[in-house]
Structure 1
Amino acid sequence: MTNSLDLEHLRTLVAIAECGGFGKAAAVRHISQPALSQHVRLLERGLKRKLFERDGRNMRFTPEGERVLVEARRIIEVHDASLRRLEAKPDRTVVIGSTEHSAGQILPEMIRAMQAAFPDCSTRFEIGRSTQLVESARRGTVDFAFVLDPTGQGAGHLVGRLPLVWYAARGWSPPAAGRTWPLIAFEEPCGLRERALSVLTGEGHDVEVTAQSTTLEGVLAGVRAGLGVALLPSAGGRPTGLSACGDLPDAGTTHLRMVTRRGLAAEVERTALAAGVEFFAQRPHLQLVPAATAQGA
């Protein structure tokens, strides 16, 4: 059994009990539900005991979970009381959202910018699909998020445009004339899926979505398996094991926008937007939106 307990994981446990479920607790804790579930799994692994069991469609505390919950409340109470006595102020936390497509490239820039501007501020990240992140910003569970907007009509600050590239497994060849084109795509709703279907059918091809996934890794796995082609944004580099299909129809670009929650501090919003613009400014092969346009979008 572990010799230490993570305070944030204990707070998650208490939130589940007080909110009556994982979904509401995730919103209260300002984290995604997968992240909340990971907190529970880490607690169970460290304590070597099962904390929850299924009760129909819901989850309930096991007897061991109830015991841990009592101790969690006791530990948190002692910890918070100590902070009050010491008049310590908790670190400010900024929750940043990003799609899987842009996480690897933009988030490192964002971390550096936030640390430089707010050295006493800690950051937490939520990686998800654009539609989910827009909703999270609307509900206030993320402070700001970088999302894709293939329609070009979304809300938020327009930061730049990413080229859309067709990817396939190495050695893959387009279908013969008259044959159906296999497409790997994200599950609906998805602007990239709609763009891919529109471009291929506009060229007179019959198209079938042969595999779909809720995650980027799932889409890439389908492409690597040779199940079809996928249309994805590129910020430089190429997914491992895949080839760019330059002979397929040009699919244009997708807008990258920054959406924010209502009431976000102006200084945080300006810093995040500046970091996004700087990302594009350092990569001349991408399409940078002029700063004045980005600020006013």
Structure 2
Amino acid sequence: MALPFDLRALRVFLCVADSGGFSAAARELHVAQSAVSQTVAKLERQLELSLFHRHERRIGLTPEGEALYAHARELMERAEAAYLAMRELHGLVKGEVRIGIPSMLGSYYFPPLLMGFKAQHPGIRLTVVEAGARRLQRMIADGELDLGVVIDDTQSEHMERRLLIREEMVVCVPRFHPFAARPSVSAEEFFQEPLVLFQNGYFHREFVDTLSRRTGFAANVAFQSNLIPLTKAIVRQGFGITTFLRRVVDEPELAAVSFDTPAWLDLSLAWGRDAYLSRAESAFVAYVIAHREVL
């Protein structure tokens, strides 16, 4: 339904009511008195109502005018709030960025980037969603999530991607394990050990499953856990070995050993190919790409 008036007419109406006259309103609005009178008269014709009692010295609101006054005041306040919100977004004063990050990356790679962006844009709210890489890809494809960190492969072709880092997947063993003193470990040797693996849907588990299919060796899964501290504790105690991104193996009790054919993963920041990115999200993408050397 088309509205019979615009915000400008309501602003003039409010000014006349607050100032108590057409002349005073004209001075406040810096326009001719005739323009104020014509605007109010047109508004009354459109509404088919009298909004003011017109006396010689001072005017007053009619009951209909009083009813409109309350609505007009609320509308103007909301319009001003909307305008301010848009200006704040234009200046990146406010906004929200929702990004999905696999737990391994969220814990060991992204904190410097998140804190650096927050320092530059303190008014923008950052929401981090932790999930497996495949689930994050589905959430982006379904529009549930705007940004996410994914593993580059054919399943992410429907996304726009910006490469963040190329990182090695290594075998993680306790320091007392025979593998710890070696320069590399074969896939066959890895699969002969009891393994501590993430559950399905995480790139950690997908890497192992892909390696298993490629080499023909079955995984001996002793534990399944998506908790990195728990996985490390199990490995430290010698109940199994696992594979991590190299940076995650950061404790003196653990050793990182390459596969005999080094395994590399390309990690990218991604969003839907046809998705709209807000100014806040676009600023986040630009910041991450510009500062990815901290990864």
**TM-score tier after normalising by the smaller chain length:** 0.5 to 0.7
2:111 alignment partner, one of 99, 107, 112: 107
Partner of 2:276: 263
Partner of 1:169: 174
Q: CA deviation at 1:164?
A: 1.0
CA distance in 1: counterparts of 2:190 and 2:162, whole angstroms: 40
**Residue 148 (structure 1) aligned with residue 160 (structure 2):** no
Q: Secondary structure at the match of 1:181?
A: coil
> Structure 1 residues 165, 276: closer, same or farther in 2, change over 3 A?
farther
Report how many residues are paired: 198
- TM-score by length of structure 1 reads 0.53
Q: CA deviation at 1:244?
A: 1.0
Q: How does 1:246-257 map to 2 (within 5 A)?
A: 246=258, 248-257=259-268
Partner of 2:101: 98
Q: Secondary structure at the match of 1:245?
A: strand
Q: Decide which moves more: 183-192 or 216-225.
A: 216-225
- Cα deviation digits, residues 232-284 of structure 1 (max 9, x gap): 223476256421124x433411121212253222x44543333333444346x
Partner of 2:161: 157
- Cα deviation digits, residues 187-227 of structure 1 (max 9, x gap): 12344334335546766765311111234344333323322
Q: Decide which moves more: 151-160 or 97-106.
A: 151-160
CA distance in 2: counterparts of 1:179 and 1:128, whole angstroms: 26
Partner of 2:193: 181
Q: Percent identity?
A: 18
Q: How does 1:44-83 map to 2 (within 5 A)?
A: none
Q: How does 1:189-228 map to 2 (within 5 A)?
A: 189-199=201-211, 207-228=219-240
CA distance in 2: counterparts of 1:177 and 1:100, whole angstroms: 27
CA distance in 2: counterparts of 1:270 and 1:215, whole angstroms: 31
Q: How does 1:226-245 map to 2 (within 5 A)?
A: 226-235=238-247, 238-239=250-251, 241-245=253-257
- TM-score by length of structure 2 reads 0.53
Q: Which runs of 5+ in 2 are unaligned?
A: 1-76, 86-93, 180-184
**1:264 maps to amino acid:** L
> Structure 1 residues 114, 253: closer, same or farther in 2, change over 3 A?
same
Partner of 1:57: none
The root-mean-square deviation of aligned C-alpha atoms, in Å, is: 3.8
CA distance in 2: counterparts of 1:169 and 1:109, whole angstroms: 30
Answer with 1 or 2: which has the greater Rg.
Answer: 2
CA distance in 2: counterparts of 1:280 and 1:187, whole angstroms: 28
> Structure 1 residues 209, 278: closer, same or farther in 2, change over 3 A?
farther
2:289 alignment partner, one of 277, 282, 297: 277
**1:125 maps to amino acid:** V
Q: Is the 8 A contact 2:169 2:265 kept in 1?
A: yes
Q: Secondary structure at the match of 1:147?
A: strand
**2:172 maps to amino acid:** Y
CA distance in 2: counterparts of 1:152 and 1:235, whole angstroms: 26
